[in-house]
Amino acid sequence: MRFLSQTHSSTGIAVLLALLATTAQAQGLRVPGQPKAQAGDAAVSRALDASPGLLTARDRVATAGVRSADYIVAVVNSEPVTNNEVRARMARVAQNIAEQGGQMPPEALLAREVLERLIVEKAQLQEAKDTGLRVDDYAVDQALTNVARQNGLDKAGLLSRLKAEGIPEKQFRDELRNQITLQRLRERDVDGRVRVTEADIDRYLAEQRRGGGDQTGSAVNLGHILITVPEDASPAQVAEREARARQAAEAARTQADFKAVVQEFSDAPDGRGGGAMGMRPLDRYPELFAKAVAQVPQGGIVGPLRSGAGFHVLKVLEKSQAGMPAVVTQNHARHILLRISDQMTEAEAAKRLADYKRRVESGQASFESLAREYSQDGSARNGGDLGWSSPGQFVPEFEQVLDQLQPGQVSDPLVSRFGVHLIQLMERRQAALTPREQRDMVRNAVRERKLETDYQTWAQELRGRAYVEYREPPQ
């Protein structure tokens, strides 16, 4: 069985929830492909797509001031949407726009689009509940661990931080569960139905050829360093922040390890992840970033750039035409898959896989022999061997964990839409793509396009079936 990618890559640099373990994405907890803002405002649309419903601990601090008098602004079937929900989400979106150097939209437009997004989410959560979609506590536990890791904390440290900020653990876990539910609903009702034909690939390639050297056909992965500037900063503070940004830019140009530079200088929450924003079309980046790097070659450094959030330093980590790099990092891995059923929960499967990991690491059994005996997919007969894989071949939650492993290392159990996995990385290499592999990467790009269209159609149909009553407008 090939765990082909059927979902979107990460789009938000301010999202602290890593795309590591179980789904949503699956426990990255970004909700990709949300329907675009209907008003056509690009800044709102991009910011909403980069702003999941879940607020991280860092966002809670930023939104503490909006927790005042509350009231209902809309009712979706029987579920209310409150003013505080809208204001909290608006704060998150505004933060993402500022950190990515975008232009803030009018507050009334932002409030309207955020309210509509929340209505769509409420309708989806009710659909999940009505159709029996449930999220196991193990998935939530794993998500909580991932949030802690991305904040440089252990689980206990995160819970302590939440408590200090007045956020009950149950509330935080409920928000995690909702985001996982939204992603799994999408996977069940939309992602699995998308099919890409050879004719679809040919049409896409023809479009790219007709586009010639147009930058809209290119994709880039930018490394990002943010040096924040407070809104009420004095000229002296601005000068100090700019000087630090210039130091960061110089370090990025002279030091080989960009991740180390990010960790030393960046104030962005994704700094611990190396600052990489992910491969995506150039027009999906903030206009400030897109214009600055359009003609910059791979490896080039840009900045400091000034935005409302502060100063930005960018590095072009990867650059390709039509999203097809000539050379990629490939992984050779094997895995053990246990499927979830009425007889086996995610927690039970994870416990069994943790024991398999212990047996492998203690030398009591080989990963290959355990995969042959216990794995519940077609790779079992080959000892779980998945062969060589290129980026985008597996679903993100699987690939994110795989990319973090070192050769010979075995992962912790992780949940995907297929079940619970144990992964062992065997080898890693840099390889030029064959024509067949290039078509496979184009297939993924075409799938992304179809997924976006199909998801928007499905989400709006679900929204249309819901009873929505607007009350007082958000303030």
Residue 16 corresponds to which tokens in the numbers above?
């602290």
* Domains 216-321 and 327-432 fall in the same CATH topology: yes
Residue 194 corresponds to which tokens in the numbers above?
């998308």
* d(C-alpha 249, C-alpha 259), whole Å: 13
* d(C-alpha 334, C-alpha 385), whole Å: 4
Average pLDDT, integer, range 239-263: 89
- CATH classification of 10-193+435-468 is 1.10.10.10, yes or no? no
pLDDT tens digits along 353-388:
999 999 999 999 999 999 999 999 899 999 999 999
Reported as a pLDDT band with limits 50, 70 and 90, residue 20 is: very low
What are the Cα distances from residue 434, in Å, to 207, 324, 327, 430, 464? 21, 11, 10, 13, 45
pLDDT tens digits along 76-132:
998 899 998 898 888 888 877 776 666 778 888 888 899 999 999 999 999 999 988
* d(C-alpha 156, C-alpha 158), whole Å: 5
Check if the beta carbon of residue 76 is closer than 8 Å to that of residue 468.
yes
**In the chain, where are the structural domains located?**
10-193+435-468, 216-321, 327-432
* d(C-alpha 414, C-alpha 184), whole Å: 15
Closest CA to 17 of 191, 172, 184, 206: 172
Average pLDDT, integer, range 167-187: 87
Alpha helices in 190-326 (DSSP H): 198-211, 235-254, 258-265, 287-293
Percent of the chain with pLDDT over 90: 21
What are the Cα distances from residue 262, in Å, to 28, 36, 48, 224? 21, 31, 25, 7
Q: Which residue has the tokens 């991280």?
A: 56
Looking at per-residue pLDDT, the higher value among 35 and 164 belongs to: 164
Q: What is the DSSP string of 212-237?
A: TT-GGGEEEEEEEEEEE--TT--HHH
pLDDT tens digits along 432-464:
777 787 787 788 778 878 888 888 889 888 998
| CATH level 3 topology of 216-321 | Chitinase A; domain 3 (3.10.50)
* d(C-alpha 468, C-alpha 459), whole Å: 14
Reported as a pLDDT band with limits 50, 70 and 90, residue 223 is: confident
Average pLDDT, integer, range 17-43: 32
* d(C-alpha 176, C-alpha 240), whole Å: 38
SS3 content of the chain, % helix, strand, coil (to 5): 50, 15, 35
- Half-sphere exposure (Cβ direction) of 92: Cα atoms closer than 13 Å: 26
Instruction: Count CB-CB contacts under 10 A for residue 260.
Output: 12
What are the Cα distances from residue 296, in Å, to 116, 289, 291, 307, 317? 38, 11, 10, 20, 11
Check if the beta carbon of residue 459 is closer than 8 Å to that of residue 191.
no
* d(C-alpha 361, C-alpha 78), whole Å: 51
Assigned architecture for domain 327-432: Roll (3.10)
Give me the amino acid identity at 134: R
Indicate the average pLDDT of the chain.
78
pLDDT tens digits along 132-142:
888 888 888 88
Pairing status of strand 327-338 against strand 419-432:
antiparallel
Indicate whether 473 pLDDT > 90. no
Reported as a pLDDT band with limits 50, 70 and 90, residue 214 is: very low
Question: What per-residue confidence (pLDDT) applies to 211?
Answer: 58
Indicate whether 33 pLDDT > 50. no
Average pLDDT, integer, range 312-328: 74
Residue 380 corresponds to which tokens in the numbers above?
């079992």
**In the chain, what is the straight-line distance between the N-terminal and C-terminal CA atoms, in Å?**
50
